[in-house]
Amino acid sequence: MSAKIAVFRKEHFNAAHRLHNPHWDDATNKAIFGKCNNPHYHGHNYELIVKVIGEINPETGYVMDMKVLSDIIQQHIIERFDHRNLNEDCAAFKNLNPTAENIAVVIYDILRKEINQNLDLQIRLYETERNFVEYPALSQNF
């Protein structure tokens, strides 16, 4: 078995959200989420990095065809989230607070179904240049 290698595809989407817990009163929501609780929403330029890990296919020299990976991300993530209000427009966040953490898990779950199960997958999502999340956090395969 040859060593595994990681390939990455970087994509971008703009989306609006509001962080809010409907089980809390307004003061608690404001105290916990601050500006991100603004009832009129606010936007982020999300930077998405999809990491795919696997062995190099000896016939293609690829882990995965990056055009195929790019098309999957476009079709299943960018078209779904870009220029949307995540809370209002996206079923995944109807009852799920659209934090960077939750968005990354949702993206992972969508992409996991589209990418060959022999390949490992990890999502990194930048909400700002300085704030970003990674999911899964750790994997014994990486």
Residues of the shown chain interacting with Ni ion in the complex, contacts defined by CB under 5 A? 36
Using CA atoms, how far residue 74 sits from 21, 47, 80, in Å, is 30, 13, 9
Place of tokens 């817990």: 21
Strand partners, 25: none
- Of 36 and 111, nearer to Ni ion (C-beta) is 36
- Of 94 and 112, nearer to Ni ion (C-beta) is 94
- Work out the number of other CB atoms within 10 angstroms of the CB of residue 64: 19
Q: How far is the CB of 37 from Ni ion (least distance, A)?
A: 9
Is 40 one of the catalytic residues?
A: no
- State the catalytic residue, choosing from 17, 44, 90, 127: 127
State residue 39 phi and psi, 5-degree precision: -65, -20
- State the catalytic residue, choosing from 17, 36, 44, 90: 36
The four Cα atoms 18, 20, 22, 25 give a dihedral, to 10 degrees, of -130
Q: How far is the CB of 38 from Ni ion (least distance, A)?
A: 9
Is 90 one of the catalytic residues?
A: no
Q: How far is the CB of 98 from Ni ion (least distance, A)?
A: 8
- State the catalytic residue, choosing from 12, 42, 79, 83: 83
- Of 42 and 112, nearer to Ni ion (C-beta) is 42
Residue with smallest beta-carbon separation from Ni ion = 36
Can you tell me the distance from the alpha carbon of 105 to that of 102, in angstroms, rounded to the nearest whole number? Answer: 5
Q: How far is the CB of 99 from Ni ion (least distance, A)?
A: 8
Can you tell me the distance from the alpha carbon of 70 to that of 79, in angstroms, rounded to the nearest whole number? Answer: 12
Is 11 one of the catalytic residues?
A: no
Which residues does the annotation mark as catalytic?
36, 83, 127
